[in-house]
Amino acid sequence: MSDTIEDQINRTTAFLETRMSQMHSYHDHKETMAHAALVVALGYVGAVISIDIWPPNWIPNTCAARETIAMLGAMIGWLIIHVYMRWQLRNRRVAALYVASLLKVLRHWSQTPPTEDDLKPHNESNSPSSTGSNWLDFFITTKSARISTDEGLEGYPKAMVKEYLETKTGALFAETLVTWGSIFLGLILLVRVWP
């Protein structure tokens, strides 16, 4: 027994609605984690700035490069927090792209039924890549960086993948703001720990 086109439309629409709900929750979680990392960075930088004696006493006085070791340690700590925050923000960007593209497809299908071609599963091997990332995007926001999705786009309806590849997101402004806030904290830290 084969499915009718209406059965296929209903099944695909239900899948896309479920996926949109999941990605919306994922987006919110990634945003919360990124902001939590920014708060951790703020606390970390505040703690280092409030130390009266630099470098700290726990670095032995016999160490020739005591100030440099303290500076490197402090900056590596900040860098780990910053990269973690950027990772969360990048995942938030992917989720924002998913939510926007899924919403556009579902909104379009509410007015115009999808074609059979729209419903066909996407095949990664014969389409432009949605992956390919820019290493710089792990440190600052780069608008051109396309972030690869964990599960890839293969198997999604062609209409959704087409929309995903063409969709832009407004999430970049907030991402840039949070990123530069973290970088500003890093610069304050660097001024404090510079030998």
Q: What pLDDT digit, counting tens, does each position of 65-82 carry?
A: 889 999 999 999 999 999
Give the model confidence (pLDDT) of 83-127 as tens digits.
999 999 999 999 999 999 999 999 999 999 999 999 999 987 644
Name the residue with tokens 């660097």: 190
The one-character DSSP state at 124 is: G
Domain that holds residue 95: 5-193
Q: Is the pLDDT of residue 142 over 80?
A: yes
Q: How much is the CA Rg of the chain, to the nearest whole Å?
A: 23
List pLDDT tens digits, range 29-69. 999 999 999 999 999 999 999 998 888 888 888 777 889 99
**Pair 154, 122: CB distance under 8 Å:** yes
pLDDT in the model for residue 125: 60
Count of the separate structural domains present in the chain: 1
Contact assessment for residue 177 and residue 38, using Cβ atoms and an 8 Å cutoff: no
Task: Kindly provide the b/e burial profile for residues 166-192, where b requires at least 16 CB atoms within 10 angstroms of the residue's own CB.
Answer: ebebebbebbeebbeebeebbebbeee
Tell me if 99 sits within 8 A of 20, measured CB to CB: yes
The pTM (predicted TM-score) of the whole model is: 0.87
The pLDDT, as a whole number, for residue 145 is: 67
